């Protein structure tokens, strides 16, 4: 798998973090997910086709260094500068140290690029952990690029949840205030919608309703499962709700590589971002948002066996990443809603 991923990353050399103005380059993370779905034979052709959509990597505009990085967080005009900085730092320290240095710096802005900065970072971390003690420089460079996208699109959302509320995640999500669909967005895509949440009364207080289970894995089980119910139930903003699942699922890939002191803060921001996505897009409330899918429905459809091949054949980058995350999370928790959500999302997403 590492060799196949290295081939994909080599084919993607020179591409930028975004294209068409604001869309994230999914090439590296989707290629890595395809491999985990058993689609190694499909990866070269998929990458070749996907690359035709991408823009060239941006250059350095002014330079960013260790003294002034804070003032340039979220400045996408300096995307090339951020990549240059993270690459320089990746040459100076081992990748776990690079991750531990930048994760807490970037964590408050996890909503960056509709969570794609975090997700791209997470897929890179999984590949690095699998590669062992002496990873190929291409894998380290992919981590640097993921962190750079996160920094360039750094975006915070309201709230500072303490995770000590009375509700499980399903109930806490159901109780969130929802942004009126008539409120105009502040820009394109998911990020533009999240940017107007500061005006949504009651959101920070409502985020305090979640009482996270003890331990980061149990907390992520609760959060990912609740987000999957929303995705399965609603067809009005599938791409947004997809990221409410793949975002926290990606955090689980990174936690083993992070200092333990960062685990609970990571879960807290993950909840904050999932809550922000639901509050921004899930209006009006749908009664099925809180409903779990029963296992017999999954067994009758044969979803665990069918989903990987269906996702590989479909080829959409979001379908690939969501399916891989849903299968991974289902293997851990047995929550059938994850597989049904992935199946419905694929059917709602064009080729």
Query: pLDDT by residue (tens digit) across 74-108?
Result: 999 999 999 999 999 999 999 999 999 999 999 99
Average pLDDT over every residue of 248-255: 98
* Cα–Cα dist 3/5, whole Å: 5
Between helices 216-233 and 263-281, what is the axis angle to 10°? Answer: 10
Separation of alpha carbons 190 and 331, rounded Å? 29
Query: Could you tell me the pLDDT band of residue 115, with boundaries at 50, 70 and 90?
Result: very high
> What's the confidence (pLDDT) of residue 297?
67
**Is it the case that residue 303 has pLDDT exceeding 70?**
yes
Question: Which segments of the chain are extended strands (E)?
Answer: 18-19, 23-24
Give residue 296's pLDDT: 67
Structure tokens that stand for 240 in this block: 């947004």
Q: Hunting for tokens 């360039």 — which residue is that?
A: 152
- 253 has a pLDDT exceeding 90: yes
Cα separation, 320 vs 234, in Å, equals 19
Residue 143, pLDDT score: 98
Position 120 pLDDT exceeds 90:
yes
Question: How far apart are the two ends of the chain, measured CA to CA in Å?
Answer: 25
**pLDDT tens track for 22-37:** 999 999 999 999 999 9
pLDDT tier, 293 (very low <50, low <70, confident <90, very high otherwise):
confident
CB burial of residue 248 (10 Å; 0-12, 13-18, 19+): buried
Whole-model pTM? 0.97
Percent of the chain with pLDDT over 90: 94
User: What is the domain partition of the chain in residue ranges?
Assistant: 2-152, 169-348
């Amino acid at each position: 798998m590492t060799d196949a991923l290295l081939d994909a990353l080599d084919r993607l050399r020179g591409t930028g973090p975004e294209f068409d103005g604001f869309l994230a380059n999914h090439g590296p993370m989707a290629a890595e997910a395809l491999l985990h779905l058993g689609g190694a034979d499909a990866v070269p052709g998929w990458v070749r086709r996907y690359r035709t959509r991408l823009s060239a990597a941006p250059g350095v505009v002014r330079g960013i260094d260790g003294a002034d990085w804070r003032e340039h967080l979220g400045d996408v005009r300096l995307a090339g500068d951020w990549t240059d900085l993270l690459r320089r730092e990746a040459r100076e320290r081992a990748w776990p140290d690079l991750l531990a240095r930048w994760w807490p710096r970037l964590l408050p802005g996890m909503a960056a690029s509709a969570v794609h900065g975090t997700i791209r970072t997470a897929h890179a971390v999984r590949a690095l952990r699998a590669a062992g003690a002496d990873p190929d420089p291409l894998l380290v460079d992919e981590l640097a690029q993921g962190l750079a996208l996160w920094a360039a699109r750094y975006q915070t959302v309201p709230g500072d949840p303490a995770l000590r509320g009375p509700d499980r995640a399903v109930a806490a999500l159901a109780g969130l205030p929802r942004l009126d669909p008539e409120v105009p967005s502040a820009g394109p895509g998911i990020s533009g919608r999240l940017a107007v949440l500061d005006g949504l009364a009651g959101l920070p207080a409502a985020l305090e309703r979640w009482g996270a289970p003890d331990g980061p894995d149990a907390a992520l089980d609760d959060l990912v499962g609740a987000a999957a119910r929303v995705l399965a139930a609603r067809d009005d903003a599938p791409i947004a709700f997809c990221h409410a699942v793949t975002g926290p699922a990606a955090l689980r890939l990174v936690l083993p590589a992070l200092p333990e002191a960062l685990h609970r803060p990571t879960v807290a921001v993950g909840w904050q971002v999932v809550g922000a996505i639901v509050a921004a897009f899930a209006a009006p409330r749908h009664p099925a948002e809180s409903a779990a899918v029963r296992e017999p429905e999954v067994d009758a459809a044969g979803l665990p066996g069918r989903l990987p091949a269906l996702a590989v054949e479909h080829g959409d980058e979001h379908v690939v990443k969501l399916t891989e995350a849903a299968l991974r999370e289902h293997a851990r928790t047995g929550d059938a809603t994850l597989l049904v959500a992935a199946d419905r999302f694929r059917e709602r997403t064009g080729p």
